[in-house]
Amino acid sequence: MKPYQKIKIQECHEPLVPIPLEIFAIESPHPYQKLGAPYHLSQTNSPYFLRQKVLDSLIVAQTKLQQNYPGWRIQIFDAYRPITIQQFMVDYTFAETVKVQGLTLDSPSLTEAKRQEIFELVYQFWATPSLDPTTPPPHSTGAAIDVTLVDANGKTIDMGSPIDELSPRSYPNHFLERQDKEAQKYHQYRQLLVEVMMYGGFQQHPQEWWHFSLGDQMWAWLTNSGGEVVARYGRVE
């Protein structure tokens, strides 16, 4: 169990609503759909849903962005993610990591100890596809979102590492201490993203520059250290 999963949830039953995609930038088709993620098994058939107040806050964040960067937009990589999709992506990431390490899923070298080692790496960045209502994966609540930025020409801003990379480069402040101009630029853009998202009320995942949430367990855990804030969004059934 991760620390934020100890936060209590008092579900507010706010609706899951479609994101108006004409307002934001998106990648089409959706990255996980291109991998074969079974969205047809979910109740929405789309990743582009959020809780109503989370969507409202995302619009606030983009408005803030455009005050200083006219024409720039928030690009939505992923939002609501049913448990079936969470399981698919965990399995996919595990298989890809096995491949990167020069192994195959049926290789004798893929011992139980090695499998455990790889799963530990995967679960540093991916939440467990838990069906326990007290420990929902953040994206299954409709309160977590993966985002980046695009400029006025529609070009995706280079943040120094791709979304979902299993690497220390994914940590928000990875480039903070680097002195070369390219690294400083990456950090500057990451700071811009976190500033506008926090202006909207979001909190940033400590290990993922792209992941933000509002109202879920992680948000509550990051918002206070005294335990007085509870989560208002649990898993969407």
SS3 content of the chain, % helix, strand, coil (to 5): 40, 10, 50
User: Are 234 and 228 within 8 A, CB to CB?
Assistant: no
Catalytic-role residue among 11, 112, 117, 208: 208
Beta strands in the chain (DSSP E): 16-18, 25-26, 49-51, 73-78, 144-150, 203-204, 211-213
Q: Does residue 120 carry a catalytic annotation? A: no
* Residue 192: Cβ-neighbour burial (10 angstroms; 0-12, 13-18, 19+): middle
Main-chain phi, psi angles of 53, to 5 degrees: -70, -25
What residue type is assigned to position 99 of the chain?
Answer: K
Active-site positions read: 208
